[in-house]
Amino acid sequence: MRILVLGSGAREHAIISALRAENAGHEITAAPGNAGIAMDVPIIHLDPTNGNVVTGFALDNDIDLVVIGPEAPLVAGVADRLRQRGVAVFGPGKAAAQLEGSKTFAKRIMDDAGVPTGRAIRSGNLAEATAALDDYGSPYVVKADGLAAGKGVLVTDDRDAAIAHATHWLQYGTVLVEEFLDGQEVSLFLLSDGHTVLPLSPAQDYKRLLDGDEGPNTGGMGAYSPLPWLDDGFVDEVIETVALPTIRQLAAEQTPFIGLLYCGLIITGDGVRVIEFNARFGDPETQVVLPRLVTPLSGLLFAAATGSLGSHPRPEFTSDVAVTVVLASEGYPDTPETGRPITGLDAALAVEGVSIAHAATAVTGDELVSIGGRVLSVVATAPDFAEARARAYRALGAIDLRGAQYRTDIAQRVAE
């Protein structure tokens, strides 16, 4: 197939790596890509949020499938424009993408579908937000209603910090104040063609910057898959109580969800609850889920895009485990230092079972440099978590980026 992948992060690099691993002769193009992606496939410098430009390129180049990686093109309605012109696309339309684009919309869909989730109060001003914080009490949970690049959620015992967070995001719209839910978190990806869903392997990510889940929230500092502590029936339970009711509710509202439903879940004492939905593959979880996928990814994505998941068997995964650790720039997440040279990647890649997904890299002159906060995802696969961790951190030790930071406790609990 001729496949166009939209996006420029480690998630898109992981998707492209999985497609290339099929050895099926796919012609893959990325837009706009990054320096690491450009080492693997051709890249095109176009605006992935411009539906007319993306559609024009797809038609001019006989693209068989467009895979939309990040949330911004989805919320901008790029998938709608492609479908209007008959191009197969993996990614929901603008209306269904509001599952991620608006937490208020997502809560309403969950309520109408009977999906288990935490209580929330939508607040349009500081007085409402403060009253909601006092109603639910500590720990305080405040979420920006719209897209916030992974920085819109605050969980804190500090009431003043919660009020400050609400004050900041109220400049841009509404906020949700939610009850705090305690338990183990799980990320579960489900492919959907608007009617049928197929699950991928569960993963767990680490959102806090520092070891021990300390520090500010980030876009994600690492992940691992599978989750050996999950009950055998967990995935089926989520399909029946979360995924299918959500997909059916959207279909009933004439906004079919075609693409990847990301379920951010928490296992509480009262059962599974939804923390959030995303409308695309998660980052960094994609980097540990797709390397374990045995079933060809292209077939799954195309089946979802063309409404034929119902005849597709459940995806299969290797028994190996995967761990990814994010290498971030100095100053991330607030003020990342950029433009610094990155060296040592060849030595890192020489470690058995290691691959590297580029997130924020570019080539300046003859140097590879950092251009953002989360720079690289170092991924390691192995028969067990202890070995996967050892490989990942051995590879990280070979990489040099001045001032770089990363967590040292990714997957530590399951490796002990």
- Specify if 273 maps to a domain: yes
- Band of residue 372 on the pLDDT scale cut at 50, 70, 90: very high
Domains held by the chain: number: 4
pLDDT of residue 90: 98
Task: Answer with the residue of higher pLDDT: 191 or 143.
Answer: 191
3-state secondary structure of 394: helix
- 110 inside domain: no
- Considering the domain architecture, whether residues 186 and 277 belong to the same structural domain is answered as yes
Question: In this structure, are 280 and 327 located in the same domain?
Answer: no
Q: Distance between CA 126 and CA 151 in Å, rounded?
A: 19
Q: Are residues 301 and 329 in the same domain?
A: no
Write out the E strands in 197-319. 197-199, 204-205, 208-210, 214-217, 222-225, 258-268, 271-278
Indicate whether 285 and 190 sit together in one domain.
yes
| Token pair 């599978």 in the structure block, residue | 226
Same domain for 129 and 51? no
pLDDT value at residue 12? 98
Of all residues in the chain, what percent carry a pLDDT higher than 70?
A: 99
- Whether 112 maps to a domain, the answer reads no
Q: Which domain holds residue 174?
A: 120-178
Say what the pLDDT of residue 152 is.
82
Other CB atoms closer than 10 Å to residue 316's CB: what's the count? Answer: 10
* 237 and 297 together in one domain: yes
Residue 173: per-residue pLDDT: 86
Q: What is the structure's pLDDT at 217?
A: 87
Q: Is the pLDDT of residue 149 over 80?
A: no
In a domain, 115, yes or no: no
The answer as to whether 103 is a domain residue is no
What does the pLDDT read at residue 378?
Answer: 98
pLDDT reading at 266 higher than 90: yes
DSSP letter at 405 equals B
pLDDT of 151 > 80? The answer is: no
Q: CATH number of the domain that 86 lies in?
A: 3.40.50.20
- CATH code, domain with 222: 3.30.470.20
How far is the CA of 146 from the CAs of 75, 174, 332, in angstroms?
Answer: 10, 8, 22
- Same domain for 376 and 283: no
Statement: residue 258 has pLDDT above 80 = yes
The answer to whether position 111 is within a domain reads: no
Same domain, 168 and 197: no
Read off the pLDDT of each residue in 56-85 and give the average, rounded to a whole number: 97
Mean pLDDT, to the nearest integer, of 44-49? 96
pLDDT over 80 at 150, yes or no: no
pLDDT of residue 301: 98
* CATH number (domain holding residue 164): 3.30.1490.20
Asked if residue 300 and residue 199 are part of one domain, the reply reads: yes
In a domain, 100, yes or no: no
- The reply to whether 148 and 186 lie within a common domain is no
Structure tokens at 64: 């068989």
Q: For residue 154, is pLDDT > 90?
A: no
| 282 and 201 assigned to the same domain | yes
Residue 160's pLDDT band (cuts 50, 70, 90): very high
> pLDDT tens digits, residue range 206-227?
999 999 999 988 999 999 999 9
Helices 10-21 and 297-305: crossing angle in degrees, nearest 10, is 110
3-state DSSP call for residue 323? Answer: strand
pLDDT in tens, 3-29: 999 999 999 999 999 999 999 999 999
Q: Which of 49, 73, 90 is the last residue of a domain?
A: 90
In Å, how far are 27, 72, 253, 293, 376 from 7, measured between CA atoms?
17, 10, 29, 21, 15
Domain end position, chosen among 273, 293, 311: 311
Q: Is the pLDDT of residue 404 over 70?
A: yes
Q: For the segment 326-364, what is each residue's pLDDT rounded down to a tens digit?
A: 999 999 999 999 999 999 999 999 999 999 999 999 999
Position 247 pLDDT exceeds 70: yes
The answer to whether position 327 is within a domain reads yes
Say if residue 132 is in the same domain as residue 186: no
Residue 153's pLDDT band, with cuts at 50, 70 and 90, is confident
Q: What is the mean pLDDT of residues 44-62?
A: 97
